[in-house]
Amino acid sequence: MNEIRPTVSSFGPARLLAGTDAGRLDRARHLAVHGPVPVLSSEEVVTLTRTVDLRGRGGAGFPFARKFQAVVDALRNTQGDPAVVVNGAEGEPSCLKDTALLLNAPHLVLDGAEIAAVALRADEVAVGVARSDVLASVQQAMDERRSLSVRMRVEQLPERFVTGEGSALTNGLNNNPALPSGRKVRTSERGLNGRPTLLSNTETFAQLAVAARLGAQGFAEVGLPDEPGTAMLTVAGEAVVEAPTGAPLTYLLQMCGMSVGQGLLVGGYHGMWLSPAAGELALVSREALKALGATLGAGAVLPLPEETCPVGETARVARYMAGESAQQCGPCVWGLARLADELEALTTYGGQAAYDAVFSHVRGVLGRGACSHPDGTSRFVSSALKAFPEDVGRHVYEGGCGRPVLGVLPVDGKDVGKVTQRLLVDWTLCRAHGLCADVLPGVVQLGPDGYPSSADMPLKEKERANAVRAVRRCPALALRVVG
């Protein structure tokens, strides 16, 4: 479980995080900071969000006005009341911005959901979350709003990468397994309990609440002319920063005591890598990042320090992503697992064959999954290998880069910045040379026959470099490092 409580700060005056410097905003403090909840018609919501070009902040960046209008259109052909769903199930370890909002400013998110619900005449707002502390914060906020006409509920769903996929979230809120449906059914037509449903991300509803209070002109006073407002970013899996659009990413990294390093991953584990030169030019902007070949995605920004191995970090994330499979289609179940296997082989042994196998499996999963998880993972892997050509070349032609895998890309909220790895022995190859025990005397213990006494030995972070040396020195090629 990801129980990291993110630090929050702002680059310039805060909007979404206004007032949170003193801690979580209860209902009274929230109203003192932001004022009462405006009431807008459906036409006013569409006009406002289209004028400020409000986009979904969960990854896809879909225009909110079009999504809202789709629900309005669906209601013309459907009887019954619509629903509003807030996607707060942030399942990726590198993303904490929605968690930060729901822990510190839950009423702003619920305001946005209420504005949309009233405009649509929806009778229910459902919030899906994945953490117990977030559940408690949102439930407390809902209890403080009992007098409101819109019925609200919050449900805790499994904390998994795929839980945040739209159909998976809706399935979970419908008391079904929180897994992607695999069918191209729009929630605007059939969502919560089969009703037309407006489903959007936590930050998107908070932005709606701010825009409704400021109006289009006031909202556009901050940020870029064609992308007004602010954006929430998660830096290095721990720090959440609110910044105006157009702000250089390097400024935000400096606020957090970091630099671009070897490269910059933008958009999370379905995002793309930027080279150091491109990272220095990157702005908080959809269009600026698109011009650099990247996407803002879910707002995760992950710099890669010079001290760690890019190929090993990529392999570690690929293994995590394979484990987050919904187990519903071959590309996820088998394809991603094999992709992780080949990346680990490239990390540990190197060679052209391992490199070719990685790209074979990247191509093998593209466009074949029941949801976007295989495609997003394959893009992440291919982007990483293209972003670090020198490091990849050392693995291919020299058997490795000589750097440890520090685990700076989080794959578990309890283990940010750490790595759990194992040294494995292939008994079919081992010939009891004993060199591994010389290199790793605290890890490898030889039995009376001269063979390692165990085929599976846990490694501490500080032992990783020597483990790689042991792998390279083994004349029988019987060792490998995994994890």
Each residue's pLDDT tens digit, 184-216: 678 888 888 889 999 999 999 999 999 999 999
Are residues 253 and 333 located together in one domain of the fold? no
pLDDT score of 60 = 76
202-219 helix and 97-104 helix, angle to the nearest 10 degrees: 80
pLDDT of residue 147: 66
Specify if 446 maps to a domain. Answer: yes
* Per-residue confidence band for 394, with pLDDT thresholds at 50, 70 and 90: very high
Note whether 313 and 279 are same-domain residues. no
Check whether residue 211 and residue 331 sit in a common domain.
no
Pair 126, 174 in one domain: yes
| Claim to verify: residue 49 and residue 180 sit in the same structural domain | yes
CATH code, 299: 3.10.20.600
Res. 370: pLDDT tops 70: no
Going by C-beta distance under 8 Å and a sequence separation of 6 or more, which residues neighbour residue 356? Answer: none
Same domain for 208 and 274, yes or no, is no
Residue 161's pLDDT band, with cuts at 50, 70 and 90, is confident
Nearest to 131 by CA among 165, 113, 158, 152: 158
Say how far apart CA 365 and CA 376 lie, in whole Å.
Answer: 10
Stretch 156-179: mean pLDDT, rounded?
85
Burial 421-445 (b: 16+ CB within 10 A, else e): bebbbeeeebeeeebbbebbeebbe
Q: What is the arithmetic mean of pLDDT over 65-93?
A: 90
Proportion of the chain above pLDDT 70, given as a percent: 94
CATH value at residue 328: 1.20.1440.230
Is residue 1 predicted with pLDDT exceeding 70?
A: no
- Please report, for residues 42, 104, 295, 376, 377, the alpha-carbon distance to residue 270 in angstroms, rounded to integers and kept in the order given: 33, 27, 9, 4, 6
Encode burial over 226-241: b for 16+ CB neighbours within 10 A, e otherwise: ebbbbbbbbbbbbbbb
* Length in residues, the chain: 483
Q: Are residues 80 and 167 in the same domain?
A: yes
283 pairs with which residues across the strands? 248
What pTM was estimated for this model as a whole? Answer: 0.83
Residue 459 has pLDDT above 90, yes or no: no
User: Per-residue pLDDT averaged across 69-96, rounded?
Assistant: 90
Res. 407: pLDDT tops 50: yes
Residues 300 and 314 in one domain: no
CATH number of the CATH domain containing 79:
3.40.50.11540
- Please say if the pLDDT value at position 309 is more than 50: yes
Mean pLDDT of 288-301: 92
Q: Is residue 42 part of a domain?
A: yes
Task: Give the pLDDT mean for 398-406.
Answer: 87
Residues 326, 279 share a domain: no
Domain boundary among 277, 304, 331: 304
User: 331 and 394 share a domain?
Assistant: yes
Give the H/E segment covering residue 467.
Answer: helix 464-473
pLDDT, residue 3, reads 67
What was the pLDDT predicted at 414? 44
pLDDT of the residue at 208: 98
The gap between the terminal CA atoms of the chain, to the nearest Å, is 18
Least confident of 17-31, 109-123, 276-290, 322-336: 322-336
Mean pLDDT in the chain?
89
What CATH number does the domain containing 456 carry? Answer: 3.30.70.20
Q: Is 239 helix (H, G, I), strand (E, B) or coil?
A: strand
| Residues 13 and 65 placed together within one structural domain of the fold | yes
- Residue 27: inside a domain: yes
pLDDT at 183: 63
Domain count, the chain: 4
Q: Which residues pair with 86 in a beta bridge?
A: 127, 200
User: The domain containing residue 263 runs over which residues?
Assistant: 233-304
Residue 35 lies in a domain: yes
At 413-455, the pLDDT tens digits run: 444 334 457 788 888 899 999 999 988 887 888 888 889 888 8
**Within this chain, do residues 96 and 149 fall inside the same structural domain, yes or no?**
yes
pLDDT at 196: 93
Domain assignment of residue 411, yes or no: no
Separation CA 166–CA 169 (nearest Å): 5
Question: CB of 27 within 8 A of CB of 234?
Answer: no
Residue 225: inside a domain: no
| Chain position carrying tokens 């999963």 | 365
Q: How many other CB atoms sit within 10 Å of the CB of residue 349?
A: 18
d(C-alpha 43, C-alpha 216), whole Å: 14
Q: Is residue 415 part of a domain?
A: no
Q: Is residue 337 part of a domain?
A: yes
Which of 357, 377, 403 is at the close of a domain?
403
Domain boundary, last residue among 368, 403, 438: 403
Q: What is the mean pLDDT of residues 39-49?
A: 97
Q: What is the DSSP letter of 446?
A: B
